[in-house]
Amino acid sequence: MGSVQTSTRKSKKKLQSSTGKVFVKATYNNTIVTVATTTGDVIATRSAGQYQKGARKSTALAGEQAAKEVSRHVKLMGLSEVHVVICGPGHGRDSAVKGVELGGLKVLTITDVTGYPFNGCRPRKEKRV
C-alpha cells in the first residue's frame, strides 16, 4: 500500500543576466512589487498585504518591507542590478525604492510612468438659479 508521494518543488535556477527590472505599483490601498528580467519574464512578486493587514498595508513601511523581501529573494537567484519603474500615487512609492536598496540590489535608474489625464473628465453642468 505504501507509495509515498514526494513533493516536487521548482528549483531556483540561476539567471542568465545580473540585470533586471523592478516594477512598483503603489495604489492608495496597497503596494505591489514585481521583479522581472530585462526580457520581461517575471521572477518574483510581493505585496504589502503579505506583511501588513488592513489599513496598515497602504503605509510606506509595508511597501518597504515588500520591496526588501522580494529583493533578498532575487539576490539569491543571481540578480544584482535593477532598473526601477514606479507607477501610481500611493504612499509606498519612495519607500519601495529604499527597500530595494536595503535588500542588497543596486538601483541603476528610477523611472516614473504614472499616468495623468490630458484633458480630464467632462465638468458638471452649471446650476440653474
| pLDDT tens digit sequence for 91-104 | 888 999 999 999 99
Angle at 38 between CA 48 and CA 81, to 5 degrees: 70
Contact (CB, 8 A) for 82 and 44: no
Determine the pLDDT at residue 47: 93
Superfamily of domain 19-112: Ribosomal protein S11/S14 (3.30.420.80)
Question: Does this model's pTM top 0.85?
Answer: no
Low-confidence spans in the chain with pLDDT less than 50: 11
* Spans of all domains in the chain: 19-112
Per-residue pLDDT reduced to its tens digit, 37-59: 999 899 999 999 888 888 888 89
Q: Where are the beta strands (DSSP E) in 13-101?
A: 19-26, 31-37, 42-47, 81-87
Determine the pLDDT at residue 106: 94
